[in-house]
Structure 1
Amino acid sequence: MASAEKICQLLSQKKADTIELKKAAGLYGNQLLIKKVKGYSGAGEDVFINTLKEIIETGTIKGRDEYNWKLVKEKLPEINQLLNYIRSNNRVFIEEVKAIIQPYLPKELKAAAKACFLAGGGSLGFTIGNDPSFNVALQKIGDDIKGLQYLVAHELYHSLQDIGQSSRVYQKDDKKITYPEKATYYLLYNLWAEGIANFVGDMAAIKDLKEFSKEQAGQYQKNRARRYQNFQLLEALLYRQYHDSTANYQATYDIGFSTAFDETSYFVGYEMAKKIAQHQGNEAIAALLVKDPIRFIADYIALYQKLADDQSFVRFSRSTEEIVSRLLAWENKL
């Protein structure tokens, strides 16, 4: 929590020297925050320091506020309240998060993960590359402890997915995968990762919804209502990525999985995970943690084909099923 605490301390001051700001930027969690923000906006450590100094000394930021300092400053009382709660109730907080994710973990999984609570940036939560930490930003949470726990569960599950994937046994294949195949495979990887994490951290399960969790639960309800359209959008993205060698992976990813388009593919994966759990139990979701991510969509397709009379499933088109069938040739090879 040192990174968030330092930012809160600095924003409660009227002045900060460059040395102190550089030390704050160098803290472990803030370094991860800088990597994340720089990745989507180009605003690196210099912007972190300069804009933080500007808001400390002037109370505002005139230009682009890539690190969201104005919101952090506005929400300082709530952020400090959350930090105090976590500090005072650390063991209970951790046990309650564990209880959320435990049904979706294979018994044989041995793992440790590090949580970083941050203040700043545009993302609610994120992981960075192979770093074992998961990161949660506090400025949008308010006083919603339960909402925070479910958000932590979502991000923690991503760290556990990475650990589960590292335990897989890979097979060598002399055949070279094409760019369209690889790009489409990684879209399905993200469908697995985000869809199941969304299912695990489903805030609709919270009985006493507060402002943050109510807003998040509303996203689930909105996307539940447009699930057929969400599936069709994902299918269009998969089809073009697989069949058009000029299709740019990052541009396709941004349409399906970024906040610019409401992360609609997160909710496609959520619907799929919900159906798998409904018919095959939570242990089927747990098993997917250590399997090739391509199995997620393959198992979903196999499930609705088996239950041909069940009209509650959203089914993929034949062309999508064929793409998945072809990509299964790369199972445990990527």
Structure 2
Amino acid sequence: MRAKLTLLITSLLLSVTAFAAKPAGKLTISLDFESAKLITTLLSRKTVTAAQIDKVADVYGSRQLIAKVKGYSGAGAEIFKSTLREIIETGAIKGDDPYNWKAVKANLPAITALIKKLSASPDAFMNEVKEKIEAYTSDKITANVRACFLVGGGSLGFTQGEETTFNVALQKIGDDYEGLKLLVAHELYHSIQAAGFASRKADSKGLPYNVKATFALLYNLWTEGTANLVGDFVGMKNPAPFSKTQLDEYQKNADRMRENFAMFEALAYKCYNDTAAKRYDVYYNIAFSTAFDETGYYTGYEMAKKIEKYEGKQALANMLTQDLLVFAETYVKLYKAHPEDKTFIRFDASTENVLQNLVPWREKM
């Protein structure tokens, strides 16, 4: 998920297929299955009317999906409707399939079973997610969050727009209930992080581009790293296929962690020091997109693990309402305080200098 630097906290209206659960503090979560239920029902049929297609395209979750897919492929609502109708009526799609309906249809039994299980016990599901996040959550956070379960598209989890909504695509998860809990914990924690960030009311007006861009890299390092720890797949017993793919990613990045750190440090150095270049989007994609295996997620994850080891989960919870330098500064402080711990990956002096140079701006980001 691409994290935002601003967030508008809004009240959310629940659909008839949404259910509410309240974890610790002032956090309200709703589960929305409406789009997924409508689409999977239609995909089980051989015929469909224009009115039915229009209805499914207009529900909240489908509008989130359409906005996401249109953003990276250009395929908007009309393509959503025409390709969905094509696969319902013919069982195939001859041309491009930007909404991945073929994958949804191929996994329809598992998806339907998972939606049925979630719908039957939404409170039980959210209570299990709550157990994973509550130790990392500050009671200072107030937010209303919608967890929107979708089918279709190419993204596993994403946010769209400024609302406190996160979206999860079920066709890549199959019937992996345990894996879904961890994924939801990860994405939910992003909403908590964004609410905490917004509560600081930092004003970044007037900041130089290179300062804002470097802070944005540090923001994503913190948010993705700690969210990976909150929804940690490591240690899972008897993982289902989806969870196994996630574990493989953790292991691949663990095997090259020193290189991951070096890559992030090079990006941060370039971002801050090359004031003539304005390429934050490129730097973001290198560190935090699937094009380069999301290496920044695992750099931040390694840092978050060390902070938890030496200062506990509460230290990470406190960071929800602290400035964006605290995460990296705490990591530096810890590896300097524990030279005996040879498993620490230390930043180069040039990276520490970048952090120091950002200090005068910390309250504005």
Class of the TM-score when normalised by the shorter of the 2 chains: over 0.9
Equivalents in 1 of 2:360, 2:100: separation in Å? 44
In the alignment of these two chains, the number of paired residues is 332
Q: TM-score, normalised by structure 2?
A: 0.87
Secondary structure of the corresponding residue to residue 166 of structure 2:
strand
Contact 1:202 1:217 in 2 (8 A): no
Cross-structure match for 2:236: 206
- Which has the higher mean CA deviation after the structures are superposed, 292-301 or 81-90? 292-301
- Asked if the contact 2:204/2:212 (under 8 Å) is kept, the reply is no
CA deviation map 1:123-173 (0-9, x unaligned) = 111122321111111101122111011111011111111111122153x68
Q: Within 1, Cα distance between the matches of 2:76 and 2:170?
A: 20
Question: Counterparts of 1:191 and 1:249 in 2: how far apart (Å)?
Answer: 14
Give the equivalent residue in structure 2 for 1:132. Answer: 164
Match of 2:54 among 22, 28, 39: 22
Distance in 1 between residues matched to 2:112 and 2:121, nearest whole Å: 14
Correspondence for 1:36:
68
1:225 counterpart residue number: 255
The amino acid across from 1:296 in the alignment is F
- Pairing 1:293-308 to 2, within 5 Å after superposition: 293-308=324-339
Q: Which runs of 5+ in 2 are unaligned?
A: 1-32
Report % sequence identity: 50
Q: Which residue of 2 aligns with 1:95?
A: 127
- TM-score, length of structure 1 as denominator length: 0.95
- Higher helix proportion: 1
Aligned-residue offset at 1:332: 2.3
Q: Structure 1 stretches of 5 or more lacking a match?
A: none
Rounded to whole Å, the distance in 1 between the matches of 2:350 and 2:328 is 14
Alignment pair present for 1:181 and 2:194: no
Question: How far apart are the structure 1 equivalents of 2:166 and 2:235?
Answer: 22
Q: Which amino acid aligns with 1:267?
A: Y
Shift of 1:255: 1.0
Farther off after superposition, 263-272 or 50-59: 50-59
Q: Measure how far apart 1:16 and its partner are.
A: 2.3
Matched, 1:215 2:242: no
Q: Given residue 37 of structure 1, which amino acid in structure 2 is its aligned partner?
A: V
Which structure has more relative contact order (CA 8 Å, sep 6+)? It is: 2
Name the amino acid aligned to 1:119: V
Superposed, 1:2-151 pairs within 5 Å as: 2-151=34-183
Mapped contact 1:169–1:332 kept (Cα < 8 A): no
TM-aligned CA distance change 1:296 to 1:129, over 3 Å:
farther
Tell me what 2:6 maps to. none
Counterpart mapping for 1:269-284 below 5 A: 269-284=300-315
Which deviations, in whole Å up to 9, do the C-alpha atoms of 1:32-82 show, x marking residues without a partner? 111222222222212211221221222222222211111001001001000
* Cα pair 1:16 1:53 within 8 Å, conserved: yes
Aligned to 1:330: 361
Please give the alpha-carbon distance, in whole angstroms, between the structure 2 residues aligned to 1:332 and 1:60: 54
d(CA) in 2 for partners of 1:130, 1:287: 24
Question: How big is the shift at 1:283?
Answer: 0.4
Please give the root-mean-square deviation of Cα atoms over the aligned residues, in Å. Answer: 1.6
